[in-house]
Amino acid sequence: MKYIYVFIILFSIASLSSAQTILVKKTEVLLLGTFHFANPGLDVAKFEDVNILSDKRQKEVEALIAKLKTFKPDKIFIEVPVAGQKRYDSLLNAYKNGTHILSKSESQQIGFRLAKECGLSTLYCSDYTNVSFPMDSITRIMAANQQMGMLKYLQETIQKEQTDFNEQLKTKTITEILIDQNTEAVYKKLAGLYYFFLKAGDKSNHVGSFLASEQWRRNTYIYENILKELDGKEQRILVLYGTTHVAMLKEMMKYNDQFDIIPVSKIL
């Protein structure tokens, strides 16, 4: 009889816990992957300048903001290192007061404008950059091990990415480009991209695994930084990062029962 009572108590606790979980309203998460408006040339693929400060592109950014405003985010997370928080708070306040001209970066062109439109007092700097991506070592090791097929595939893939994106710049608006970049097919390709390097070199060399692990490590730290800024009261959050980051963050966030990931196409 004693064991029956224990079972009933444990079952009741489990049921109560389950009910409480069901009653907790999930936080809606909009993961918006972007290309770098400022075109710093840090990525492997090199793209043409989007000329974001031109009158045409500025109107397109304003149209994008009008759509994003309908999401009504409570918090916006941007691809700026955590150490930059104080500086960005100051710049955002200056922008709101009319004393700061927006830079080319998507963090300011989208983040600052949207924060002002939504009445937000801060943007959350959440990037982590203390990582190493030894692309030069990867290509040297491929060549040294006569992995010419891999080298050719890598070069052709990079060239195709450059050509396709540069063509998009000629014909599409900023919103249209972002819609194209935020699809399940693109996320899958980008999230799995770094596993291509695992076969680089012979069994005594693990530079490919190191490169892949560094990319996932960076994004795990970013995810950690985002989680540590949440208090559970947020109804909606926007994560504004490069599309490769978003692809990996989505893979991690899908395991969070408190998140409801909203497709970009639903907002844009």
Give Cα separations from 265 to 31, 158, 182 (angstroms).
11, 26, 8
Question: What per-residue confidence (pLDDT) applies to 136?
Answer: 87
* 245 within a domain of the structure (yes/no): yes
* 19 within a domain of the structure (yes/no): no
Q: Show the tokens assigned to 53.
A: 């400060």
* 32 within a domain of the structure (yes/no): yes
Of 205, 62, 216, nearest to 133 (Cα)?
216
Mean pLDDT by runs of 10 across the 268 residues of the chain is: 48 46 79 89 67 97 98 98 98 98 97 98 97 89 92 90 92 97 94 90 92 96 98 97 97 97 97
Give Dmax (Cα) for the chain. 79
* 18 within a domain of the structure (yes/no): no
* 141 within a domain of the structure (yes/no): yes
Question: Per the structure, how many domains does the chain have?
Answer: 1
The residue segments making up the domain with residue 206 are: 26-267
Question: What per-residue confidence (pLDDT) applies to 21?
Answer: 45
Beta bridge partners of 241: 33
* 38 within a domain of the structure (yes/no): yes
* 139 within a domain of the structure (yes/no): yes
pTM: 0.88
Question: What per-residue confidence (pLDDT) applies to 18?
Answer: 46
Torsion angle in degrees (nearest 10) through CA of 60, 64, 66, 68: -170
Read off the amino acid at residue 141. I
* 247 within a domain of the structure (yes/no): yes
Question: What per-residue confidence (pLDDT) applies to 20?
Answer: 45
Question: Could you give the 3-state DSSP secondary structure of residue 10?
Answer: helix
**Pairwise CA distance, residues 129 & 127, whole Å:** 7
Question: What per-residue confidence (pLDDT) applies to 101?
Answer: 97
